[in-house]
Structure 1
Amino acid sequence: MVTALDPNTALVLIDLQNAIVKIPSVTPTEVILANAAKLVAAFRKAKLPIIIVTVNPTRAAGSAIRAIRRDVKSSMPAALPADALALVPEIETEPGDIFIVKHTWGAFYETNLDEELKKRGITGIVLAGVATSRGVESTARAASERGYNIAFAQDAMTDLVASAHENSIKTIFPRIGEVDNTDAIIAILRLM
């Protein structure tokens, strides 16, 4: 249960991209996107920052890890159609939003996310997106290590594997933040 949000909290949406949301997942994509869009609207109304994180995995295919570990295989093609990596149309952006492109699971690794948060005085984040046990969890772990207070919108995230999703929601996330649903988080935002 989310008990409070920092006055300087940002919404961080992970990998809500055309190709990614088409992958079969535990929770129907329509539900995840509707809840993510509700969070965006609430954060806009509260005049709090919105961070859109997308992944471009093609650079990761040639990463140093892959060069060292010959047994790590990537199923990613060398190039993807441009619309595959585009943000889904359900998430409407504005010029003041912060856009981060990552190349691995976590949104902090080799990006300027931490700098963007710090220069705005952000001390807390609300996380949502795909996939719960990969992009969201990796980003959450790094955010926790950097001292951010974290809230998780559990009904605005999903995974490809039910047991992985459940492990993140019930075991990992409560250790590093607070977990609740979109409506509860929005209710707290309204009180701020």
Structure 2
Amino acid sequence: MPKKALLVIDMQKASFTVETPRLDEAGVVKRINTLAAKFREEENLVIIIQHDGGLGGAYEKNSNSWENLDALQTKPTDIFLDKTANDAFYNTALESLLKEKGVKEVCITGCATDFCVASTLQSTLIKDFNVVAVADGHTTGNRPNLTAEQVVAHYNWVWQDMIPTKGSVVVKTVAELTAE
């Protein structure tokens, strides 16, 4: 049974447009692909989470903009899960799926650091899972008062110093995780 799961959150075309450039898009996708390959090789779970924004929105299910980035490598063995809120656990089967599969550790990657990634990470911590925030596996865009680099650095710092209610949280790079 898998003991680990990799969450890949909102790596969808609607999140990566000319109007919404993301920090190191190509590098983040490459590192997520590398980590996902390791998870698959070790028979751990890779869960691709896509935001479903409802009818008529940029994230309308099955629309071109809802699709994952072309460079993101997915496999038929991956689990695909839709969400409708920032937190990937909210009104989804994610928690029951992880517990049913015997997962103890959840690695979190994706877009956007300060919204869906942060919300899901914080929710994961209160559900009895150990959490790995993948330091170079999440991205966001510039914000009114912070650059994308500052946002990513800030959240990696927050997660590194966070005292979880349950489980544990560590911040590791893809290189550190693939060397284990």
**Same fold? TM cut 0.5:** yes
Task: Check 1:170–1:97 CA distance in 2 against 1; reply closer, same or farther (3 A cut).
Answer: same
Call closer, same or farther: CA 1:133–1:173 in 2, change over 3 Å: farther
Within 5 Å, which residues of 2 pair with 1:30-69? 30-58=26-54
Q: Percent identity?
A: 24
Matched, 1:83 2:83: no
Q: Supply the AA of the counterpart residue of 1:171.
A: V
Larger Rg, first or second structure (1 or 2): 1
Q: Is the 8 A contact 2:58 2:66 kept in 1?
A: no
Structure 1 residue runs of 5 or longer lacking an equivalent are 1-6, 62-75
Amino acid at match of 1:28: D
Q: Cα gap change, 1:173/1:51 in structure 2, threshold over 3 Å: closer, same or farther?
A: farther
Counterpart-to-counterpart distance in 2, 1:15 and 1:52: 8
Partners of 2:160 and 2:102 lie apart in 1 by: 23
Do the aligned partners of 2:12 and 2:65 also contact (CA within 8 Å) in 1?
Answer: yes
Cα gap change, 1:24 to 1:77, in 2 (>3 Å): closer
The verdict on how the C-alpha distance between 1:93 and 1:77 changes in structure 2, with shifts beyond 3 A counting, is closer
Q: Across the two proteins, how many residue pairs are aligned to each other?
A: 166
Select which of 99, 108, 118 maps to 1:118: 99
What is the root-mean-square deviation in Å for CA atoms of aligned residues?
2.1
Contact 2:14 2:59 in 1 (8 A): no
Unaligned runs of 5+ in 2: 143-147
2:9 to 14, 18, 27: 14
Corresponding residue number in structure 2 for 1:24:
21
User: Where does residue 66 of structure 1 map in the other structure?
Assistant: none
Tell me which stretches of 4 or more aligned residues in structure 1 moved more than 3 Å.
76-81
Of 76, 82, 85 in structure 2, the residue corresponding to residue 95 of structure 1 is: 76
Task: Give the structure-2-normalised TM-score.
Answer: 0.84
